[in-house]
Amino acid sequence: MAKIVIIGAGAMGSALTVPLIQNGNVVNLWGTELDNKIIDDLKQGKPHPKHKYKLPSEVNTFYECELEKAMDGTDLIIMAITSDALGKIFKRVVPFLHKGAIVGSVSKGFEHNNKGKIVILPELLKEILPEKLKEEISFVVIGGPCKAIEVLWKSPTSVTYSSKNIVYANYMKKLLNTDVYNVETNNDVIGTEVCAAMKNAYAVSLGMAEGLKKRNGFLHNNTKSALFTFAVSEMCLLVTALGGNYKSAIGLPGMGDLEVTGEAGRNRILGEVIGEGMKASTAMEKMRTEGITVEGYAAIKFGYNLAKQLEVTGKLTLEELHLLNGLYKILYEDIPCYEIIKDLLSKCTGFYK
């Protein structure tokens, strides 16, 4: 049993209260300034407005102005903030961190660090820590196929917790692992994070294969499976070039999360409309107007630029990443999708070179 604070009361943050409470932990759920309505509803015993589902009654809820109280005496801090706001919110959390605290993160994606270099999120968080805490705080990142709502429903789920020192991943596993929320642990922070970000990019291509049905008048399931396979092999290349373990790419964080992300959601929808024939710039314009953020869109550019960064080091050539290259051309240069996909499949070689 431990005392945990979840920073961010969105879908994933609030879902994690379920296994935590099931294991008898004390759980504080803190909402950002965007979560006031959520906290209002939860305090009144209403369902969570995002997923229309009641949280366990034992969860303690805190408004944005109550951060210090929410953090008080907690052993584990779980950051459940979208990647673009993660740094900003973490800066507010830092003053209340004590030596030895463990920070978990469900945020997924890349960001630019203060030198403009593309980094994975735990690096960004570490940079924010004051010097005296840099070696005193341990980070654990969460990856793997996990739709938040299904954690609330208690659908059997398998996820990955990664920490440079596996002891901390195992500690967090002890607090969250239940009969239906299964946690595997490893020390491949890089692999888990890169996959968490890049699976969104590659899921866009799976959507495209679905969309081609409308454009061409027939199914493209063969195309989709080929894209799926090459997506995983490219995640392997990226992960290993960055010093991670390829097993993460062919495991829950890579292949597993790509599978669930390709099933539904905004990345897939973006791909679908482009596959159907809409120009990428038009599709993105439309989504922006509707206030929809598509993580895969940003991830394609981050991935593309990251590959360029890696090219300089000689660990990878951008040319090897036919699918990522193709996605960049479709999404950022408005080149028609079908022609690119047809062409790139003729070049992809997967794991056999």
**Residue 199 appears among annotated catalytic residues:** yes
**How far is the C-alpha of 256 from the C-alpha of 267, rounded, in Å?**
16
**How far is the C-alpha of 31 from the C-alpha of 93, rounded, in Å?**
12
- The answer to whether residue 130 forms part of the interface with a second copy (CB under 8 A) is no
For residue 134, report the phi and psi dihedrals to the nearest 5 degrees. Answer: -55, -40
Closest approach, Cβ 71 to a second copy, in A, equals 30
Cα 112 from chain centre: 16
Asked if 169 and 282 count as a contact pair (C-beta separation under 8 A), the reply is: no
Binding mask 262-301 for a second copy (x = CB under 8 A): -xx-------------------------------------
Q: Which two tokens stand for residue 87?
A: 């740094």
- The answer to whether residue 251 forms part of the interface with a second copy (CB under 8 A) is yes
- The answer to whether residue 342 forms part of the interface with a second copy (CB under 8 A) is yes
- The answer to whether residue 247 forms part of the interface with a second copy (CB under 8 A) is yes
Closest approach, Cβ 173 to a second copy, in A, equals 12
Binding mask 159-198 for a second copy (x = CB under 8 A): -x------------------xx-x-xxx------------
Q: Which of 50, 108, 173, 199 is catalytic?
A: 199
**How far is the C-alpha of 179 from the C-alpha of 45, rounded, in Å?**
26
Question: Residues in contact with a second copy, total (CB under 8 A)?
Answer: 55
H helices present in the chain, as ranges: 11-15, 17-22, 36-43, 67-71, 83-93, 121-128, 148-153, 166-176, 189-216, 221-241, 246-249, 257-263, 266-276, 280-289, 295-313, 322-333, 337-347
- The answer to whether residue 255 forms part of the interface with a second copy (CB under 8 A) is yes
- The answer to whether residue 351 forms part of the interface with a second copy (CB under 8 A) is yes
Provide the binding-site residues for a second copy, judged by CB under 8 A.
Answer: 144-147, 149-151, 153, 155-158, 160, 179-180, 182, 184-186, 212, 216, 218-226, 228-230, 232-233, 247, 250-252, 255-257, 259-260, 263-264, 341-342, 345-346, 348-352
Q: What are the residue numbers of the active site?
A: 199
